Structure 1
């Protein structure tokens, strides 16, 4: 199998500010004893970094601010091997995600979009060999434009959940969601191909709402679940485009996700995808 596919990720780039505490606070509650970390993140950037480290020839279409965080985000993607020719520097602060993580790895996230509101595909060329992966942390109009402009394979990670236009659902070759997002977007029952993740239970592939493949999760002890779903998305798309069956691709993506939850970073080091294929 060849996994060095051309992958274009259209999406968000964020600076993650993470507070790790023994447990997550309830409404109106303050929890002390936290540990603060800063790291590169954003669903788009996480997927691009994972894609490049898994072996795909990956380029990122996104935007950062003309600030220190923007340069740090660029450097993180550059070190992962991502092509940054279409990452714009705009007159806005770099996007920021405020994250709380508990001792079991569960999280709460608030996102301030900043420069992500200015992501544009103007000037980006697509051809029939492209695989495009987008998410919903940027303008839905920009995602729809990318879907229309894409002449090859278009995959959408429909997160965070929101109503989707019929045009986008019909254009997508693959839509990836978690079980909560699948419930919140009922129109996905009519989609051609949907991958649904179920956390520690595993993941499934659905065709027009009917399950056609399932793969058990890899048992592991999570440290941080931030970024695991993004790496799963990148791995699944690359695996399918590399010729794996639905079940084989799910197993490989589950293995990649398990590797990420064992690492506190949202963009950890990964081995080439063939290492995770069983």
Structure 2
């Protein structure tokens, strides 16, 4: 049986438009296309882990609207266990996404039902956490819920991954002791460490700062520059596979889900990082969030250029 991964986090309907560039303040641009796509960092990571070889359970909340039904259905179609996805009164979470011709994006999130994922709700599904080998959290649900989930996962002796996204400020100090793998991107590493991350060298400084704050191990994802892994005083750079990017939406989520699936299935850290990188590289060659996430067979068939 595949190893079990539990994802505690958000489900959002992504409202995606493509435009030649990102709009400036007060500016109206003519868009090129529009689509609604199932997303949310939690759901994206759940789909990634499921497609990439893990048995996955999702813990989250959706609204009692059409988006909620569609979001749940998208996970069920991936054979993800949704017993812990609660339906609450009101609207589901949404993300407004603009993607430009350089494949960069700007995103505004409205939490909606994700705000109803309280510690008490998570506690109702403790059996899901108990059954997992790896537990993943992000920051698109209330902070109190993230802190509760991290603490409970540590109490259960699980491998704990936090993708601190979106991050605009340092994490609560007492969270670090409950995290095995902290996986920020450049902007998130900057917010958490106070070190501007714009190069591999600055990423090394930020990673050392996060280790000093108490993180067990840190993986800073650097887009086309690859990933930096930090453990204690050890720093290792993993170059990224070279591909032609068309849309970076969900690339970070694909890396996290792929890394978790590989780790849960017994790969060592280096192999799991490389596996996650190939999955993320493949995802940026396709448009959308969940539609862009590759399968295990896609990753196994990948040939570096």
TM interval, shorter chain, is over 0.9
Q: For residues 95 and 260 of structure 1, what CA distance do their matches in structure 2 show?
A: 23
Q: State the secondary structure of the residue aligned to 1:36.
A: strand
Residues paired across the two proteins, number = 275
- 2:124 alignment counterpart: 123
Unmatched runs of 5 consecutive residues or more in structure 2: 194-208
State the partner residue of 1:178.
Answer: 185
Please report how far the alpha carbon of residue 240 of structure 1 lies from its aligned counterpart in structure 2 after TM superposition.
Answer: 2.4
Match of residue 205 from structure 1: 229
Cα separation, partners in 2 of 1:33 and 1:96, compared to 1, 3 Å = closer
Shift, 1:276, TM fit: 6.9
Q: Distance in 1 between matches of 2:21 and 2:82?
A: 37
Q: CA RMSD in A?
A: 1.8
CA contact (8 A) 2:49 2:260 kept: no
Question: TM-score, normalising length from structure 1?
Answer: 0.93
**Structure 1 position 246, deviation (Å):** 2.7
Deviation track 1:56-111 (CA, whole Å, cap 9, x = no partner) reads 11000000000101001011111112110000000120000000001121000000
Q: Flag the structure with higher helix content.
A: 2
Q: Using a 3 Å threshold, how does the CA distance of structure 1 residues 260 and 83 change in structure 2: closer, same or farther? A: same
Deviations 1:159-195 (A, max 9, x none): 1113212221111011100022112101623222011
> Cα deviations across residues 227-256 of structure 1 (Å, max 9, x unaligned)?
111010011122223333332222111100
> Matched residues in 1 for 2:295 and 2:282: separation?
10
- Shift of residue 219 of structure 1? 1.0
| TM, length-normalised to structure 2 | 0.85
Question: Match for residue 226 of structure 1?
Answer: 249
Q: What CA deviation, in whole Å up to 9, does each residue of 1:115-145 have, x standing for no partner? A: 0001130211232753110000001111111
- 1:54 Cα deviation from its structure 2 partner: 0.8
Q: Which among 145, 154, 178 is matched to residue 142 of structure 1?
A: 145
Q: Which deviates the most, 134-143 or 247-256?
A: 247-256
**Residue in structure 2 matching 1:60, options 55, 58, 61:** 58
Conservation of the 8 A alpha-carbon contact between 1:231 and 1:260: yes
Summarize the alignment of residues 1-278 of structure 1 with structure 2, pairs less than 5 Å apart.
4-119=2-117, 120-124=121-125, 125=127, 126-127=129-130, 130-150=133-153, 151=156, 152-161=158-167, 162-186=169-193, 188-190=210-212, 191-208=215-232, 210-268=233-291, 270-272=294-296, 275=300
